[in-house]
Amino acid sequence: MRSSIAAIIFRSLLGLVFLVFGLNKFLHFIPNPAEPPAAMDFFGALFRSGYFIPLLATTEIVSGALLLTGILVPFALVLIAPVIVNIFMFHLFLAPGGLPMGVILGALELALAWQYRRAYTAIFSSSGADVPRTPIAAEARA
């Protein structure tokens, strides 16, 4: 895929956000802002699960690093998409003060997904006929 300047900037911004905030979940170098009680209850439940916050942080760090380096960008976008949806929904329903950030992250994700749309053709193919699955299948079509 030919990278445009805008795609590189969007990819870098999205990668930096997730790398920094993913690392913050482990290293606690940015203080957490005060959130509404419902949001704190939600975070408390995630924290008490014992596994979710480390899983979330690791997903953010890996996706952020992949986006920043430009390696496996379509995979990084798929990996981070559910996190972005959850950020948006969290702010929409529990902490509306952060909704602009959720909208910005969603917009960056969608813009990059559109830029890399050719990488997703096999996922959205109903029959898979347009994407060879094995070298033998590709030869049979030729």
**DSSP state string for 64-113:** HHHHHHTSSHHHHHHHHHHHHHHHHHHHHHT-GGGHHHHHHHHHHHHHHH
Q: What proportion of the chain, given as a percentage, has pLDDT over 90? A: 77
* pLDDT tens-digit map of 22-48: 999 999 999 988 889 999 999 999 999
- Average model confidence (pLDDT) for the chain? 89
The whole-number pLDDT of residue 34 equals: 87
User: Looking at the 3D structure of the chain, how many domains does it have?
Assistant: 1
Integer angstrom CA distances of residue 8 from 11, 23, 31, 87, 112: 5, 22, 29, 23, 9
Q: What is the pTM of this model?
A: 0.83
Considering only 35-39, 121-125, 126-130, which range has the smallest mean pLDDT? 126-130
Range of the domain at 66: 5-141
Q: How far is CA 133 from the centre of its chain?
A: 27
Give the count of beta carbons closer than 10 Å to the beta carbon of residue 59. Answer: 17
When pLDDT is averaged across residues 115-130 and rounded to a whole number, the result is 79
Distance CA 74, CA 107 (A): 16
Given a cut of 90, whether residue 2 has pLDDT beyond it is no
